[in-house]
Amino acid sequence: MLLKNKNAVIYGAGGSLGGTVAKALAAAGATVFLTGRNIASVQKIADEIIAAGGNVDVAEVDGMDEVAINRHLDKVINKTGFVDISFNAVGIDVVQGVALATMKMADFVSPVTNTLQTRFLTATAAARLMMKQGSGVILSLTATPGGIGYPFTAGFAAACSAVESFSRNLAAETGVYGIRVVNIRSGGSPDSKVFKDAIDDRPDVMAAVLHQMENDTMLKRLPQMAEIANAAVFLASDMAGGITGVTVDVTCGTTAGLNYRMDRL
């Protein structure tokens, strides 16, 4: 098992992607410490992990609250002695589909501020502990707009770019302590709750949107949540011991292939 004897803390574990990553880390052998503001949804993921034979702990933690984050990590350290992996999947409300020239400043700035706040608080809290123990992996997640101009993605694009920059700089500062910091860039997973809800609400509109998004990739499809989770497992493992300070692209080629049109010969 790639992550046997590893301890992983997941923020926003009650969400569809956070839960998928949590289950993948547990299946790879890690003891997962699941946190979130909605304890019921977090417990649901925990129950699935337990049913599959995994090791799990659950706590109600607001990923925007510095005191709560540090208090929880102290409890993890007191219980296990180490925090090996930190992953933040806290969801942030975003206004998209509006041209930058016509949108309100608050709608643009809000996702940037809130995304950076939770990513900074959880990552730096983990880093302080990992610096003492001399090892650890800090993972983050962005999407296609972090690597390429993508119209009508508003503050979400700026937030993605900011997280990727933060991840690189944190890696540069903590590598000397044996800490690896890696960002995963997703293309958006159609099996995630946010996509499924949108499809249920506006099936005709979303059919066209998904077709366009798929057509913007080299593989002509979007990554499934399991593919993001598998990347997280690999990057958190010793097999990825030489990887840090970069964003790993799991967009099915969107970042490199946007507006690149290629049909089968």
Domain chopping of the chain, boundaries: 7-188+223-251, 189-222
Mean pLDDT for 230-244 is: 98
Q: What is the pLDDT of residue 195?
A: 79
Q: What's domain 7-188+223-251's architecture?
A: 3-Layer(aba) Sandwich (3.40)
Confidence of residue 203 (pLDDT cuts 50, 70, 90): confident
d(CA 242, CA 116): 26
For the cut 60, the answer to whether the pLDDT of residue 60 exceeds it is yes
Fill in the amino acid letter for 205: V
pLDDT digits (tens, 9 = 90+) for 119-165: 999 999 999 999 999 999 999 999 999 998 888 999 999 999 999 99
Least confident of 119-128, 180-189, 203-212: 203-212
Say which residue, 205 or 46, is predicted with more confidence: 46
Q: Which helix (H) or strand (E) holds 72?
A: helix 66-80
Confidence of residue 191 (pLDDT cuts 50, 70, 90): confident
Q: What is the pLDDT of residue 215?
A: 85
Mean pLDDT for 91-117 is: 94
d(CA 258, CA 49): 37
d(CA 19, CA 75): 21
- Picking from 34, 46, 4, 80, the residue whose alpha carbon sits closest to that of residue 236 is 4
For the cut 70, the answer to whether the pLDDT of residue 258 exceeds it is no
For the cut 90, the answer to whether the pLDDT of residue 48 exceeds it is yes
